[in-house]
A = this chain, B = another copy of it.
Amino acid sequence: MPASKSDTSVAPRSAATRKRTRIQQEKEELILEAALDVFARHGFRGSTIDQIAEQAGISKPNLLYYFRTKEAIHRMLIDRLLDTWLEPMKIIDADGDPISEIQSYIRRKLELARDYPRESRLFANEILQGAPHIQEELHDLRELVEEKAEIIRGWITQGKIAPCDPKHLFFSIWAITQHYADFDAQIRVVLGTTGEGEGRFEDAARFLDQLYVNGLKG
């Protein structure tokens, strides 16, 4: 079944159906890694294809052989990101101990901020611009939050944690944890040269543990 020239014979770029070559896998990975770096530092509009290509160590047309457009790279990065990003929330367990479930959630989110700061900034950039590329994905998030908020409400009804607005609870956890990745430049200055290491994440974990454990005690 021959199709239009652009998606057969010569051009396997973004070949969704076709079996992927070894080189294809390697190069796509290389490009995505470079793009994540550049996008996280300069935002979507602030990043150029040339920049990404240079960072990946390949030529611009070669990059465009694997991804048709700059948007395509960005979209793939965002898609991957969201899986990682929502994982901690998905595993919140209604049958677990409420306080330690929330503690775990905070700790996991903080680990993400520490270990994947570029992903956090990529996401922050996207939302700051009004989330133009991920309206649909955001609606998946909405359903997930709805489901987990129901769990929290259950805990409140059972008197296991203090009454509070579950959604704003989530907002606060997202905000604080991601803040350590997104506002890193500010945090480093405020903490001073002594705060160069990753110790700030441990300090943050201690602080947040206390804040939320006391703040949510039933």
The answer to the question of A211 belonging to the interface, with a C-beta cut-off of 8 Å to chain B, is yes
Interface size on A, residues (CB 8 A): 57
The answer to the question of A12 belonging to the interface, with a C-beta cut-off of 8 Å to chain B, is no
| Binding stretch for chain B, among A1-9, A60-68, A169-177 | A169-177
Which single residue of chain B is at the shortest CB-CB distance from A217? B214
The answer to the question of A90 belonging to the interface, with a C-beta cut-off of 8 Å to chain B, is no
Nearest CB of B to A194, in Å: 11
B129 near A42: Cβ-Cβ < 8 Å? yes
Mostly helix, strand, loop or mixed at chain A's interface? helix
The answer to the question of A86 belonging to the interface, with a C-beta cut-off of 8 Å to chain B, is no
B211 near A172: Cβ-Cβ < 8 Å? yes
From the candidates B185, B190, B211, name the one contacting A130 in the complex (CB within 8 A).
Answer: B185
The answer to the question of A167 belonging to the interface, with a C-beta cut-off of 8 Å to chain B, is yes
B164 near A211: Cβ-Cβ < 8 Å? yes
A189 near B141: Cβ-Cβ < 8 Å? yes
Of the candidates A162, A174, A212, A217, the one having the most CB atoms from chain B within 10 angstroms of its own CB is: A174
Beyond the given A131-B189, A135-B189, A211-B216, please list 13 additional residue pairs across the A-B interface where CB-CB is below 8 A.
A41-B129, A41-B130, A43-B43, A46-B46, A164-B207, A168-B208, A171-B179, A172-B179, A172-B207, A175-B183, A176-B176, A211-B215, A212-B215
